[in-house]
Amino acid sequence: MNGFAKSLMDKSLAFAVRIAKLAQFLGEEKKEFVLSRQIAKSGTSIGANVREAQFAQSDVDFISKVSIALKEGSETQYWLEVLLKSGYITKNQYQSLRNDTDYLVGLLVRAVKSKKRNIGLPLPSHKRTRYSDEKQEMAI
């Protein structure tokens, strides 16, 4: 196992532990059980998929597993925003967890791109749509 893979495994495990503690805090201190379950599932799934990827059956399977971890990272970012905006976590708690999530997502993107490049698969080109610069607020 190379240094990058070890770092990704270590960071995703440490993040899963933080998320488990957050879910416990939300349940015990805030009496919140729905959102805590959602973030526990997505936040711990990142590391589980990274571990699965280590024993992928092929390069394509590896990309698939790491891509699933990437999606779980994005979902975790969403649940963190919901927790912040609903008042269950503070801005400082949110920022600390968001920084860790963003770092992990960056590592996962790097892993997928590197593997795709190594096996000759095309990398996605994210073109901006005409709506991508617009901000829309939802009335509640």
Is 40:23 a contact under the CB 8 Å cutoff?
Answer: yes
Name, in order, each residue with C-beta under 8 angstroms of 107's C-beta and a sequence gap of 6 or more.
4, 7, 8, 11
Rounded distance between C-alpha atoms, residue 115 and residue 103, angstroms: 19
Mean residue pLDDT of the chain comes to 91
Question: For the whole model, what pTM was predicted?
Answer: 0.86
| C-alpha radius of gyration, the chain, whole number | 17
| Packed helices 91-119 and 3-29: angle between N→C axes, nearest 10 degrees | 150
For the chain, which domains are there? 3-118 (1.20.1440.60)
* pLDDT for position 17: 98
Low-confidence ranges of the chain (pLDDT < 70): 126-140
Segment 47-75, tens digit of pLDDT: 999 999 999 999 999 999 999 999 999 99
* pLDDT for position 135: 46
